[in-house]
Amino acid sequence: MSSTRISGTDSYCPADTSPELCELTVGALLARTAAAHPDAPAIVATSRSGDRRRLTYSELETEARRAAHALRTLARPGESVAIVASNWAEWPIVAYGAMLAGLVLVAVNPASRDAELQHVVAHSGASVVIHERVEADRGPTPVVENVAEHCPALRHVVGLDEWAGLLRSHDPRPPLPETDPHRPALLQYTSGTTGRPKGVLLSQYSLVNNARFTMRAAGVPTGAVCASPMPMFHVAGLVTCTLGPLSIAGTQVLIRRFHPELVLDAIEQESATVLFQTPAIVRSLLDFARDTRRPLPRLTALMGGAASVPSGLVREAEKAFGGQMLNLYGQTELASVATIVRPGQSDHDKAHTVGRPLPHLEVKIVDPTTREIAPLGRPGELLVRGYQSFLEYHDDPSSTATTRSPEGWVRTGDLASMAPDGTVTITGRLKEIIIRGGENVSPTEVEAVLRRLDGVLDAAVVGIPDPRFGEVVGAVVVLAEGVGAQAVHRLAEAAAAELAGFKVPTRWYRATALPYTTTGKLQRTRVRETLQLGELDELGAAVDPRRFRTPDAHPAGPSASEAATAGVPEARSGVRGVPEEFQ
């Protein structure tokens, strides 16, 4: 692969077109892999019956073809089929079957409340829902029948317990219709934090090539065994963690649910060499191994996504597992991955950047107000263009037009800067910028500083309404045992040593833990909601901003950057390990 080059001093990275794009559907890629590696292990997972299933590529293709024929008896070509389930072995088989049958797969979070489920099923126009049946008293997991009467297009509701019998009744051998790789294949809902979630339509062409290029950029060899506790209902779970192993004739070890012991057991039992992860997952594994004195398995790569990863975690993980921790960045609108840290990049790049763009993807950073390309090193909004861009927001032309330009540029809504070699650093969310008296403050930048302070285990930074400045910087911190409220002034002083005065938090609150999505992204919206409800204790009196020579020259009120946030993709939601005060 040719090296990435930057033109001049602008934050623009041209597409590397040296590797070829392939015109394959998911079904064609599966057939090709099964023909070349029929006896290679394809999937190891737990079925809904509780059995451990091991499918070779030949067996996986047979099961996928059965699923395609079964689904064709329930839905017409082009219709949508929704799956509401956690990481059972049936999940990827339903996905392969839907794409082989020329249907649009709708991936639904099984933790959705009834109202959320009803919106997704009704808005997608799904004619079939396949789901894991649960009892009504099993917490937030929905019972699909509760919402079926409100979804006029829905004709069939199939429980996973019935799915196996449905498959057995269909012959896999009859030919299936050819499908166009550029037609819609996946309808993935963003679970937006403001308003209703938007449905992102993606093509098989984008999914297949994104999976191929991600695994290639990470240097994952043919036949690698890849362990994944990542949820299948996220685009990363389906593309990177499922089609990624398929693209290299590797093995997907699908882990039923995340628990450190389950993950480590799966890695050891299946001799996995790649782990799909978030920094929170890695931290949990390291802590579990330390507390239980369990030796950690050796890995060659730990692939996962986060805007930034603590440098200490990178060093600790690489020493403990022996492999490289490769940070990546993506969005649903980009068919999963857009940039990734390559093997051999520096420790700084692994901890503080999201790497360089994948092949066939242009990246530029623009001033949020003028929309002009920013100079190298200066933060602005990250825009991308390439084969993997989403087709549209389903039934939402207005949002489509504001997020994707006529020239094909996708507004990510993320703030970033670019280095001369094309390496991208995420600095925050455009919609989450705190505007203090006209000065813009990136929460991500402040959080990174706070997490390095002695006694701070985790931190979330949000804007707090203020009559004088419009907003001031507020910090919600998780403190180490023994660190009390009296430490707030010490922490503020330490933060002031690294931050401009107007960026230093002047309101401090304490939490036992912070809310994250299932893919490890901090949910600042949940943090703000909890603060508005007065459910967190403030640590002493507000810190006087004059102690840090905070400039007061700018009047309170909105800045021009607020207008620039219209139409950008929303921050993702979903809950992982939400503490009591966030429930």
Classify residue 47 by its DSSP letter.
-
State yes or no: pLDDT of 576 exceeds 80: no
Distance CA 193, CA 575 (A): 12
Mean of pLDDT over the chain: 88
| DSSP per-residue string spanning 221-250 | PTT-EEEE-S-TTSHHHHIIIIIHHHHTT-
Per-residue pLDDT at 568:
55
Q: Is 53 helix (H, G, I), strand (E, B) or coil?
A: strand
Mean pLDDT throughout 184-191?
A: 90
- Going by their DSSP bridges, the two strands 434-436 and 439-441 should be labelled as antiparallel
| 467-471, long-range: CB < 8 A, 24+ apart | 467/556, 468/437, 468/556, 469/436, 469/437, 469/556, 470/435, 470/436, 470/437, 470/556, 470/557, 470/558, 471/434, 471/435, 471/436
Q: Judge if 1-19+304-429 and 23-257 fold alike in CATH terms.
A: yes
Per-residue pLDDT at 546:
62
Residue type, 291: D
Per-residue pLDDT at 467:
73
* Among the four given CATH numbers 3.10.129.10, 3.40.50.12780, 3.80.10.10, 3.20.10.10, the one describing domain 1-19+304-429: 3.40.50.12780
Give pLDDT tens digits for 102-114. 999 999 988 787 8
What band does 96 get if pLDDT is binned at 50, 70 and 90?
A: very high
Give pLDDT tens digits for 41-94. 999 999 998 999 999 999 999 999 999 999 999 999 999 999 999 999 999 999
Structure tokens at 176: 């299936």
Tokens 């089609």 sit at which residue?
243
Element (H, E) at 216: helix 204-217
Contact 184, 391 (CB under 8 A): yes
State yes or no: pLDDT of 547 exceeds 90: no
What are the strands of the beta sheet with 184-189, ordered from one edge? 156-159, 126-131, 80-84, 104-108, 184-189, 199-203, 392-393
Distance CA 43, CA 250 (A): 9
Give pLDDT tens digits for 407-453. 999 999 999 999 999 999 998 888 788 878 767 788 888 998 999 99
Per-residue pLDDT at 582:
34
State yes or no: pLDDT of 180 exceeds 70: yes
Residue 499's nearest CA partner among 446, 553, 543 is 446
Question: Domain 433-582 class?
Answer: alpha beta
- CB neighbours of 546 closer than 8 A, spacing ≥ 6? none
Residue type, 26: V
Q: Where are the domains of the chain?
A: 1-19+304-429, 23-257, 433-582
Cα 420 to the center of its chain, rounded Å: 26
Mean pLDDT throughout 215-231?
A: 97
What band does 572 get if pLDDT is binned at 50, 70 and 90?
A: very low
Q: Cβ of 473: how many Cβ atoms within 10 Å?
A: 28
Structure tokens at 152: 């006029």
**Distances, alpha carbon 178 to alpha carbons 25, 28, 66, 149, in Å:** 9, 9, 16, 34
Q: Rounded to the nearest 5 degrees, what angle is found at the Cα of 419, between the Cα atoms of 431 and 374?
A: 50
Distance CA 441, CA 70 (A): 53
Per-residue pLDDT at 560:
34
State yes or no: pLDDT of 543 exceeds 80: no
Percent helix, strand and coil across the chain, each rounded to 5?
35, 25, 40
Give pLDDT tens digits for 363-386. 999 998 899 999 999 999 999 999
Burial of 484 (0-12, 13-18, 19+ CB in 10 A): exposed
State yes or no: pLDDT of 574 exceeds 50: no
Contact 125, 154 (CB under 8 A): no
Per-residue pLDDT at 579:
35
Per-residue pLDDT at 145:
80
Q: Which fold has domain 23-257?
A: Rossmann fold (3.40.50)
Distance CA 22, CA 14 (A): 20
Structure tokens at 379: 């933060």
Structure tokens at 560: 């021009």
Mean pLDDT throughout 324-349?
A: 95
What band does 144 get if pLDDT is binned at 50, 70 and 90?
A: confident
Mean pLDDT throughout 213-228?
A: 98
Classify residue 375 by its DSSP letter.
B
Distance CA 505, CA 493 (A): 10
**Distances, alpha carbon 331 to alpha carbons 213, 419, 565, in Å:** 15, 21, 17
What band does 135 get if pLDDT is binned at 50, 70 and 90?
A: low
